[in-house]
């Protein structure tokens, strides 16, 4: 029995949903950041599955670009997190509802 395209799409949907749930129930900024990474990976799985089943390399190129965006997001996001931690001494999102430093 060969895995169908729908299997991969269902797995991707499940992973994306877990990431959304994590963003909603987590209160730590770094944990929410990791849940966003999980959502990006779920979308990447969809891209690769479609690329493989339709034999078109475009999907994998999009995955490549999404990974670059994720790396840039990690650099800038973690820099923002460190700056916020320096001024607030906390990583709880409820303490950071005001953006003014």
Partner 1 sequence: MLALLFILFAGMAVGCAISMVAQRNPLYSAISLIGVFLALACLYVTLGAPFIAAVQVIVYAGAIMVLVVFVIMLLNVEEEDRPMRLRSLTPIAVGLAAALFAETAFIIFFVHWSPATPTASVSDVGLTSSIGAGLFTTYLLPFEVTSILLLMAIVGAMTLASRAGLLPREAVVVPGYQVLAREVLDPRTTPDLTPIVARSTGEVEEALGVEEAPQITDES
Task: Point out which residues bind partner 1 (CB under 8 A).
Answer: 1-11, 13-15, 17-19, 21-22, 25-28, 30-31, 33-35, 37-38, 41, 44-45, 48-49, 51-58, 60-61, 63-65, 67-76, 78-83, 85-87, 91-92, 101
Q: Minimal distance in Å, beta carbon 43 to partner 1?
A: 11
Length of the chain: 101
CA dist 2 to 8, 19, 34, 37, 94, Å?
A: 12, 28, 32, 29, 47
Q: Which is nearer to partner 1, 48 or 96 (CB)?
A: 48
């Amino acid at each position: 029995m060969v895995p169908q395209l729908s299997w991969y799409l269902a797995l991707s949907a499940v992973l994306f949903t877990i990431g959304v749930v994590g963003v909603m129930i987590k209160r730590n900024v770094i944990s929410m950041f990791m849940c966003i990474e999980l959502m990006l990976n779920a979308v990447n799985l969809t891209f690769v599955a479609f690329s493989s089943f339709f034999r078109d390399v475009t999907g994998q190129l999009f995955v490549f670009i999404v990974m670059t965006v994720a790396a840039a997001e990690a650099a800038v996001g973690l820099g923002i997190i460190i700056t916020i931690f320096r001024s607030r001494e906390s990583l709880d999102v409820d303490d950071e509802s005001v953006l003014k430093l």
